[in-house]
Structure formats: structure tokens, C-alpha cells
Structure 1
Amino acid sequence: MARRTGRRPGNPDTREAILTSARDAFAERGIDGASIRTIAAGAGVDPALVHHYFGTKDKLFLAVMNVPFDPSELLPQIVAGGSDGIGERLVRTFLRIWDSPAGAAGVALLRSVISNEWAARLMRDFVVTQILRRVVAGLDLSPAEAPLRTSLVASQLVGLAMARYLLRIEPLAHTPAEIAVAAIAPTVQRYLTGELTGVFEPATDVEQATGAQPPTGVEPATGVV
């Protein structure tokens, strides 16, 4: 009997094959460059089957990353209140997730980022496209300043996760969440909306009149515009 060709049937291995293909595609091309069609071809399935298992490309990316939360659900609630208090809302939500049982997945993710290059690339793309880009879209930030401001926020939150949950540096590891929020939120707020003396050059009268953006001396982060 001739062997049948075509897409794979829906069996227990299909989902893992899609995840493996997606992991390679996202690590190589980033979430913006990878397509559902390419991922499906790598898994040997029809693109419709990828949508059947995972829905959108963003959902597939979250499944690959094994992230314990969905930024598309949380971040709109955080930015809905506007710029005032955004630092406190960000840090409080961050700690609530990491202090919950779901935080174990986050710790495992941090460990993989440290030891694996493709995991680091995936994490970078996740932070840029799924978090920073959504924060920029939800707040009225200067396009010239937004990339660096949001990158500074990322440095604060990633550093907090490393110190509190992975390295478990005391007393931060067991500091009550409200105290951590009180200590860290003002810095996050300043990074997003405060005066960063010596970081951004003030616009000249000509630039203010024409709308041109002054150079900042910092290359914008890819995709965070």
C-alpha cells in the first residue's frame, strides 16, 4: 500500500511538533518575522491546524515561552488609568504574578534565559513585542523617548525578578509585596514619565516648531515604536 502524504493528522505529537517549529522560527526570525505558514511548514501540518491548537501567533508565542500570564489581558488594565500611578500598577501586578504559584514558571524561564542563547533571544523578543510595545501604545510617550524609557523599565523589572525570585537575595526575597512596591514603583514611574536629567536633549525652538525630534544618542529598540 502506498504511503499517504499530506499534513499530519491531529495526534498527540502534532502540538509538540508545532511548538518545536515555532520555537525555532521565533528564535531565528523573531515574532514579527515568523509566519504561521512557515511554522506550519516546519511542523509538517496545515496552517489551519496551528490556528486550531493555538489561535493567534501571539498565543502561540506565549505557549512557546511558557509565560505564566498573558500581557494582552493584563497590560490594558494597567495602562487604562493613564500615566499617573502607572509605575505602582506595573510593579504591584508584576509582584502579584511572581508571588503566585504561576511564578514557578517564570523562575524556570529565567534559568533557561541564563543558560540558553535561543531562550535569551525569545525572552528579548517577548519583552519588546508583548510588553514594551503595548505600554508605548497605551501611554502618551514621546516617540523619541519611548524606546529608552521602556527599556529602563524592563531593566528594573527583570532585575527585580532575578534578585527576588532566582538569586533570592535577602532581605528583598522575603520583603512584603507592599513594601517592595513602595520602594520600586517611584523609580519605574520616573523612568516612564519623570525628568531624566542629562538623558534627553531639550528640543530647540526650530524643532518644536517643525515637529522634528532631537537626537538622543541612543538607538531606539527594534519594534518599540
Structure 2
Amino acid sequence: MPEHRAPSSRRRRGRPRGGDSGARERIVDAAVAEFGARGYDGATIRAIAARAGVDAALVHHYFGTKDDLFTATIDAPLGPAKAVPGMLAGDLDTAGERIVRYVLETWEDPAFRRRGVAILRAIVANRRSTSLLVGLVSREVLGRIADRLEGPDAERRAALVGSQIVGLMVTRYVLELPPMASAPVDDIVAAVGPTVQRYLTGPLGPPP
């Protein structure tokens, strides 16, 4: 009689395990940790896969290249910033403080902050990752703000708002620059909100 073999437990590399719906999220979490610990150049797909407990081929299956994976992880620090254009759908005359408060309250969540800080540290340490961030910010944040503001100086105003938001995240949460790092959220909103409001709707000096 022919020998009956048990069904093979092997699966094709690069394909999700049946029922392993959390693989993609584990890969992103592992990428955040690797990029934060080793920077963009030091992190490898193989190391990220090992940390996530998956095949390297599965990382490529979900994300393609390391650039693509890094771009996916940028969603953490840019989550609040990418929501800014939606906030501008309301009354522009009160949007400045609204934007600053939303960004700060999102980053005050410890789990969000840990992930965001790790990625921002990787970004500022590497020219390649910086260029990826610039492209994403320009497309997802500044372009949408400029579309809402319209006018001949809309792009300039959008860039100023973006610089204020990103600068706020870096000084408070990455550099932990005193006294910015320890200031109450309400105090920062009161101080920075009017500046963002001026960039949105107030008078600007002549372009440099």
C-alpha cells in the first residue's frame, strides 16, 4: 500500500499564515522599534522580520521595499498633522488653537508618543528618511492646507503652519527641550495657537 503522509505544515514564504491577522501590525511595530533603535540605514528587513516573528518575504509581501515600510511607519508621528486639513473645514478664525490642542492631546498618549518619538529620531538622523518625510508632509499635509486657504500666499502659509506643528512635536517630545517638555498643554495652546492662527489668516511679512 502506498505510504500516507500527513499534510505538510510548510507554507509558501511571503504569504500570511491562515488566521494570522495581526502579522501586518506586528511588522509595523517591529519596524518602529528597529528604525528607532538603529536608524534608517541600520535597520534591515531581515531584522524587522525577526523581531516581528515572520519571514522576511512576508514583510516584502505587505510593504514592498524598506522605503515603503518606512513610509508606513511615518503615519505615527504624522497622524495628528495629517488631520489638520480636516480641522480647517470649520471656522478658519478659530482654527489655530484647535490645531495645536489636537496635536498635543494626541501626542500626550504614552503609547502613541513612544512610537512617534522612535520614528522622528530615525527621521532626523538620516538624509534618506528625511527626504521621505518631506515628500509625505508636502503631499498629505501642506498641499491640503494650501488647497483650503487658497490665495496667492496659500503655499507659504501652509509651510509656516507645518513648520510650527513639526517643530512643536520635535522640541516637546523628541528633544524634550525645557521648559517646553514640561509645560501644561493649556499653556502651550495659549502661546502657540495664536501664532498658528496668524500663519493661517493673519498678516504676513514680505516673502524672504
TM-score tier (shorter): 0.5 to 0.7
Give the C-alpha shift of residue 18 in structure 1.
Answer: 4.2
Contact 1:71/1:131 (<8 A) preserved: no
CA RMSD across the alignment: 2.9
Q: What CA distance in whole angstroms lies between the structure 2 residues aligned with 1:79 and 1:120?
A: 26
TM-score, normalised relative to structure 2: 0.65
- Pairing 1:40-51 to 2, within 5 Å after superposition: none
Give the C-alpha shift of residue 91 in structure 1.
Answer: 0.6
Give the C-alpha shift of residue 68 in structure 1.
Answer: 5.0
- Pairing 1:204-219 to 2, within 5 Å after superposition: none
Instruction: Establish whether residue 130 from structure 1 lines up as the match of residue 140 from structure 2.
Output: yes
Identity of aligned residues (%): 37
Residues 198 and 111 from structure 1, CA distance in 2 versus in 1: closer, same or farther, beyond 3 angstroms? Answer: same
Structure 1, unaligned stretches of length 5 or more? 1-6, 27-59, 200-216, 218-225
Structure 2, unaligned stretches of length 5 or more? 1-12, 18-53
Contact 2:101/2:189 (<8 A) preserved: yes
Give the C-alpha shift of residue 196 in structure 1.
Answer: 0.6
Amino acid at match of 1:85: T
Q: What CA distance in whole angstroms lies between the structure 2 residues aligned with 1:77 and 1:140?
A: 12
Q: What CA distance in whole angstroms lies between the structure 2 residues aligned with 1:103 and 1:65?
A: 13
Residues 20 and 116 from structure 1, CA distance in 2 versus in 1: closer, same or farther, beyond 3 angstroms? Answer: farther
Deviations 1:188-210 (A, max 9, x none): 111121111323xxxxxxxxxxx
Contact 1:92/1:181 (<8 A) preserved: yes
TM-score, normalised relative to structure 1: 0.61
Give the C-alpha shift of residue 22 in structure 1.
Answer: 4.0
Give the C-alpha shift of residue 72 in structure 1.
Answer: 9.6
**Corresponding residue pairs, total:** 159
SS at match of 1:127: helix
Residues 156 and 130 from structure 1, CA distance in 2 versus in 1: closer, same or farther, beyond 3 angstroms? Answer: same
